[in-house]
Amino acid sequence: MIDIKLLRTNPQRVKDNIKKKFQDEKLPLVDEVCELDEKFRAAKMKGDDLRNKRNVMSKQIGGLMAKGQKDEAESIKAQVKEIGAQLEKLQKEEAEFEARIREIMLVIPNFIDDSVPIGKDDSQNVELKRFGEPFVPDFEVPYHVDIMENLNGIDIDAARKTSGNGFYYLCGDIARLHSAILSYARDFMINRGFTYYIPPFMIRSNVVNGVMSFAEMEGMMYKIEGEDLYLIGTSEHSMIGKFIDTILDKESLPQTLTSYSPCFRKEVGAHGIEERGVYRIHQFEKQEMIVVCEPEDSMTWFDKLWQNTVDFFRTLDIPVRTLECCSGDLADLKVKSIDVEAWSPRQKKYFEVGSCSNLGDAQARRLSIRVKGADGSKYFPHTLNNTVVAPPRMLIAFLENNLNADGTVRIPKALSPYMGGSQLITKR
C-alpha cells in the first residue's frame, strides 16, 4: 500500500506506475481516491471545527448555570445537541470515506523499482545469470514420478482416493530425502545467521490482507469455515504477521528469520493442478527466509537472499539460473522480484524453484509495523522474503540431476549426513 500523501501530491506518478504494470483498468481508481480524500479531509476539518465549538459552548453552560442564567444555558444546550447531531452525521461520512479509500489503496499496486524490466507477463522476464553447467546425460531421464515410483517412494493413486488431485504419499527413502532436504535447509540458514522459527500454520484475515493482495488471496488461501482463520500458503504470511501493530527499536534491525511450515494452496488459475506430478500441488512443505530491515538496506538484503538460494542448490550439485521478473509479472505489493530456476535434464530447460521479493514498506504500512528512530521519529521498515527450498519442486530437480543410468540416485556430500551417511538411494 503506497503513501496516500504521495498519491495526493503526485497522482500522475501513481498512474504511470500502474501503466508500467499493464493494469490500466485501475487508472480511474487514482482519481476516485483523490476525490474521496478531498471529501474526507473536508469532513474531518468541519468536524474538528464543530468539536472545538462544542467544547467552548459546553464550558459556557456551566458558567451560565452558576450565574443563574438558566434560559441562556438551555439555549446553548440545544445548540450543543444540534452540533452533536451534525458531528454524528460527519463521523459516519468520515468512516465511509476512509473505508472506501483504504479499500482502493489496497488494490493500487506498489511502486516498482526503476531497475525492473518493463514487460506484460512472465514470458518477458529476463535471465540474469547461470550458476553451474547444465548437463544432459547420455540416457533418457524419466518423468519425476516414474523415478520415485521405481524407488518405491511415492503413491499418488492412494492420495487421490483419500484427498483428490494435488496430493501424494511419500514413503521410504524418498520421504526421508524430503525431510533431509528440509533439515539441511534449516541448518544452512542458521549457519548464515538467521534465527529459526516454526510459526502458526493458520492466520487471521487482517494478517492475510496485510501480507498479500486480495487477488492473490482468492487464488491461494483456504478459509477455515466458521472461523476468522486461513491456512497459510507460505510461512512468510505468519512471520511478517508476527510484527503486526509493533514498534521496533532501530537497534533491533535487521530481523533475519528462517521458518519452516507446511503450505496450503488452492492453485486456482491458468496453471491448474497436475493430475500426476508434484510440481503444482495443494499441500507441500517449505523453508523460507524473511528480513525486516532499514529502508536503505533492503536492496542489499535482496541480493543476499537470492544468493542464499543459489548457494544452497549448488551445494546439492543442481545447476540454477536467476530470472528478473518484469513489471507485469510482479504481484501488486512487490517492488522487485527475482526467481531462482533449477535445470531439468529431462525437459532440457529451467523451471522455477524459488522466488525472492522486496516488498518495500507495503506490508509494513498494511500491518502497522513501524520503527522508532534514535530521535524518536517513527517510520516504516522494509520487508523481504525468499524461498530457501520447497522440497516437492526440489525433489524434481534433485532426482533428475543426481540420477544414475541404473535408476539409483546419488546423494551429494552436503546431504549425506541427513540421510544417515548414505551416498546412494536404491530400490528397496
In angstroms, the CA 251 to CA 243 distance is 16
SS3 97: helix
Q: Where are the domains of the chain?
A: 4-105, 122-425
SS3 114: coil
List the single range of 98-107, 162-171, 174-183, 276-285 with lowest mean pLDDT. 276-285
Q: What is the pTM of this model?
A: 0.88
Model confidence at 92: pLDDT above 80:
yes
**Second-level CATH architecture of 4-105:** Orthogonal Bundle (1.10)
Residue 84: pLDDT band (50, 70, 90) is confident
Nearest-10 crossing angle of helices 298-314, 172-190: 140
CA 23 to each of CA 154, 167, 290, 326, 352: distance values in angstroms, whole numbers, following the listed order? 42, 34, 28, 14, 25
Report the pLDDT value the prediction gives residue 70, as an integer from 0 to 100: 78
Report the candidate in 102, 105, 332, 120 with the shortest Cα–Cα distance to residue 219: 332
List the single range of 58-67, 174-183, 195-204 with lowest mean pLDDT. 58-67
Q: What would the mean pLDDT of 380-405 be, rounded to a whole number?
A: 95
Q: Are 126 and 241 in contact (CB under 8 A)?
A: no
Report the candidate in 106, 367, 126 with the shortest Cα–Cα distance to residue 236: 367
Report the pLDDT value the prediction gives residue 273, as an integer from 0 to 100: 59
List the single range of 263-272, 323-332, 405-414 with lowest mean pLDDT. 263-272
Question: Highest mean pLDDT range out of 78-87, 178-187, 389-398?
Answer: 178-187
List the single range of 56-70, 171-185, 244-258 with lowest mean pLDDT. 56-70
Q: What would the mean pLDDT of 315-329 be, rounded to a whole number?
A: 97
Q: What is the DSSP string of 184-204?
A: HHHHHHHTTTPEEE---SEE-
Report the pLDDT value the prediction gives residue 275, as an integer from 0 to 100: 61
Q: What would the mean pLDDT of 186-198 be, rounded to a whole number?
A: 98
SS3 353: strand
Report the candidate in 188, 180, 182, 190 with the shortest Cα–Cα distance to residue 411: 180
Q: Are 261 and 198 in contact (CB under 8 A)?
A: yes
Residues near 16 by beta carbon (within 8 Å), at least 6 away in sequence: none
Scored b (16 or more CB within 10 A) or e, 287-305 reads bbbbbbbbeebbbebbebb
Residue 268: pLDDT band (50, 70, 90) is low
Model confidence at 292: pLDDT above 60:
yes
Of 428 and 207, the structure prediction assigns the larger pLDDT to 207
Residue 55: pLDDT band (50, 70, 90) is confident
> What are the DSSP E strand ranges found in 265-327?
283-293, 320-324
Residue 33: pLDDT band (50, 70, 90) is very high
List the single range of 4-18, 62-76, 104-118, 265-279 with lowest mean pLDDT. 265-279
Percentages of the chain per state (helix, strand, coil), in multiples of 5 = 45, 20, 35
Q: Are 394 and 296 in contact (CB under 8 A)?
A: no
CA 309 to each of CA 23, 53, 119: distance values in angstroms, whole numbers, following the listed order? 31, 62, 25
Report the pLDDT value the prediction gives residue 274, as an integer from 0 to 100: 60
Model confidence at 398: pLDDT above 70:
yes
Model confidence at 28: pLDDT above 80:
yes
CA angle, 181 as apex, 177 and 187 as ends, to 5°? Answer: 140
Average per-residue pLDDT for the chain: 92
Residue 63: pLDDT band (50, 70, 90) is confident
Q: What would the mean pLDDT of 154-172 be, rounded to a whole number?
A: 93
CATH 3.30.930.10 fits 122-425, yes or no: yes
Q: For residue 78, give the C-alpha cell.
A: 440545544
